[in-house]
Each structure stands twice: as C-alpha cells, then as structure tokens.
A = this chain, B = another copy of it.
Amino acid sequence: MMSRYKSFVTIEKLTDHIGETVTLNGWVYDKTEKGKLAFIKLRDGSGIVQGVVFRPNVGDEVFGRAQELTQESSVSITGTVRAEQRAPGGVEVDVADIVIHQISRDYPITPKEHGVEFLMEHRHLWLRSTRQHAIMRVRATVIKAIRDFFDGNGFRLMDSPIFTPNACEGTSTLFETDYFDLGKAYLTQSGQLYAEASAMALGRVYTFGPTFRAEKSKTRRHLTEFWMVEPEMAYFDLNDDMDLAEDLVEYIVQTVLETNERELRALERDITKLEKVRRPFHRISYTEAVDWLRANNIKLNRKQADGTEIQIDFPWGEDFGAPQEEAIMTQFEKPCIIHRYPSEVKAFYMKRDPENPKTVLAMDMLAPEGAGEIIGGSQREDNHDALLERLRHENLPEDAFQWYLDLRKFGSVPHSGFGLGVERTVKWITGAEHIREVIPFPRMIYRIVP
C-alpha cells in the first residue's frame, strides 16, 4: 500500500525528476515579471526552485494567477522539470498549472532590513528566511551527528529527569515550581549526577535534553533554556575523556561540512576555518595557560575596596573569564582543551589530581574564532570519603546526596564525562552573531514569546 504522502515530490529531490511533470507544494519566496514571462521562486522547506510561467503556454487564466501571487502566498505548481546549469539547484520548472491556496497580504517581513527586536517578535515567520533555514538545518545536522556518534560507539541514551528534588548548588540560578505535596521541584541544570548512576549500570551512556539556567546574563552567549548532551563513561580517566571530546567535536564539524555545504554557503561561512578542525586539538594545563597570560602581559581587571579598578598579573587560582579565554585562543586555529583547574573554582564532584591536590581533573574545551567554551567536563571523584569531605566543605545537604554517595559505596569505578552545549556549538559552526538565532524559539531573560 503506497501512502499518498510518499509520492510528494520535494524541491531538494527535483534532480531525480528531470523531464517529468511534477506538482510542488510550497510558498512564494519571490516573484518577478517581464512581458509574457513570470518567474516564481517557490520554497517548500526543502529548497527553492524557479518556476517559469510563459503566457502563450499557460493561457491568460493561469498567467493571471501567477500575476496575483505575493510574497509567502501558498501555492501548488505543476510543471515539467528542466535541467538548468545556471540555476542554484541545477533545475527549473516550466509551469503548466497553478493552484492558489491563499494569497498572503501585507507579509510583515520584507526584503528591507528589520531590527532584531522586530524579527524576534515575528520569530514564527522569520524562520521562513533563507538564513534562518540554513541555521536550523545545520542545527538538525549537529544534533543528528551527536546522536549518531554516541549510538555508533556503544553508548546508550539515558534521559535524565528535568524535575530535580534539591537545589543542590544554591537556588539563585534555578527555576522552581510547586510539586504537589512534595514541596518544590527545580528544573535541571545538568543531567550529570543521573548520568553517573546510569553509567554504573550501562557502562557508556549519554543524556541529551534541555537544561535551564535562571541566570540574569544578558550576553550574546546566554539562553535560559538550552540543549546539552552529556556523555558519562565508566572506567574512563581524564585522558580518555579528552580523547572522546576531541573525537566528538571533530565528527560534528566534519559531518556538517559534508552535509551542509549549501547552508554554509548561504551563511557566507569561511569553511576553510572549519576544515582545520581535525584531531589532535591543542591541550594545555590551566597552569600553562596562566603562565602564557603572564608572559604575554594579559592583565586581570580587579576592583579595589574604594571602587577603583587596577590591573594585576593574572593570579593562579582565579577562574578564567571571557577576556582571558579569548586571549588564549588567539594562538590557535583549532579548539583547545584546558585541563587541571584549581579545585576552588570547580564543582565538588571533580576528582583531585593525585599529582597536585590543589587542582582537579577537569577540562574545558574552547572553540576558536572567539566562540568560547563549548565543553566542560572532568574525571569524577570516585572515593566515597573524599567526595563526602568535599560535600561538607561546600555545605551541601548530605541527605540529598545519599543516592549519589551510594555510587561510591557499591562498586565504585574511575569514571569521567562532559557536557557539550548544542547552541554554542551551532553558533560557532554557523558563525551566527547571537545565540538567539540558533534555536527555533529562543528563551532569554527578556523574551518568552512567541
């Protein structure tokens, strides 16, 4: 039994139908007229093709319909597919018939420049533009590449919960909701602790879902709701963790290059930059990075008690901010992993470096071209007592972590993992200026519509 929908011809498959008569269903992207000719640029979501309407061929009635069409009118066009070297997709359609579904009037987004606020307000329509199409298609490729990478390497998807019972790391950046008779529930900021439990059961796992931060950051890199993939692996040490992170990022970038040439061209992305993203990446320790900052005289701005600011040599023990990260990355054309951070600037669950107990076995991956951090990860503390001591040191509620401590009581093993932010990765690869463009309906501190 052939489904009707399977016989639909889409624009991206038109080169398989040269010489055939097809019906295309879509919207008018643009239209021009010249005497007895009308040129309809039709988009159907899979691509854009030009339909040529020649009055002597179609007659006055059909030609009149072509004349009536406006931007974003919905229309079905029947015609013969013809190879056309000069056309972007390699084909054109000689139109025989036109069925109008709706004439669109006063479409708000015109070819003129619109302000970003106006476009965000009309995000449901803005998504129809070539540029937004291209970004969304790259996003879909990135997500598929991530899943294919893990599914193909013996990892099992284990969805972490969105509702979590405890505000473990303070409530200031958590969204909370009432949860029946159980008090408050908090929206997850990371599935990691659950991924650790899953890794003890299934060896290599990944969680992939939305995560939430109620941060009051109004930067080009922050969303309140963003997608994160978090692999977690039993018996992986920090080195394995870094190897895996490099393999993943190389695979994502190379898959986009193979899949989305057309989109990258539409985005005017310099693909020679992406072609360089090949293993091995750069790796330096936090301490080496601090030495480099000092050697290159990259100072830290520090506020004094009296409100004035002074510039100081970057002190070992301080976390890097965007200015330091950007300075460090000016050396590199490929991503760079910075590893072994001071324990005081990193989370309680990271394993102490046995060779230097002032540092933990953490690693962050920074992308080039000013894209910033795309991965944060670590080897996890697998010693029960050391973890308990860290919990107490940070005044975290022991009770809430009993189940997490259990993982260190019943067959604890060395294990590692990391989180990769989808939107930051898509922003880097597409070269989008602002993170709000790389997710279909962005949520920021000042925006929740449409």
Show the binding face of A for B, using Cβ within 8 Å. Answer: 1, 3-6, 8, 10, 12, 25-28, 44-46, 72-74, 76, 101-102, 104-105, 107-108, 122-125, 127-128, 132-133, 136-137, 139-140, 143-144, 147, 151, 154, 156-165, 175-182, 185, 187, 194, 197-205, 209-210, 212, 214, 216, 224-225, 227, 233-236, 239-240, 243-244, 247, 279-280, 403-404, 406-407, 409-414, 439-443, 445-446, 448-450
Contact = CB atoms under 8 A, between A and B. Distances in A.
Given A45-B204, A410-B104, A197 B157 contact: no
A216 to B, nearest CB: 7
B440 A160 contact: yes
Contacts of A157: 139-140, 143-144
A201 B177 CA distance: 33
A131 to B, nearest CB: 12
Nearest to A244: B5
A75 B125 CA distance: 57
A201 B132 contact: yes
A107 B125 CA distance: 56
Nearest to A447: B182
Contact of A445 (B162, B164, B180): B180
B449 A165 contact: yes
22 contacts: A4-B240, A5-B243, A5-B244, A6-B243, A10-B154, A27-B413, A44-B203, A45-B204, A72-B410, A101-B411, A124-B194, A124-B200, A127-B202, A139-B157, A140-B151, A144-B157, A163-B224, A175-B185, A176-B178, A177-B187, A194-B440, A209-B210
A450 B403 contact: yes
Of the candidates A163, A187, A440, the one having the most CB atoms from chain B within 10 angstroms of its own CB is A440
Contacts of A132: 201
A335 to B, nearest CB: 15
A407 B108 CA distance: 12
A125 B443 contact: no
A247 B3 contact: yes
Contacts of A101: 411-414
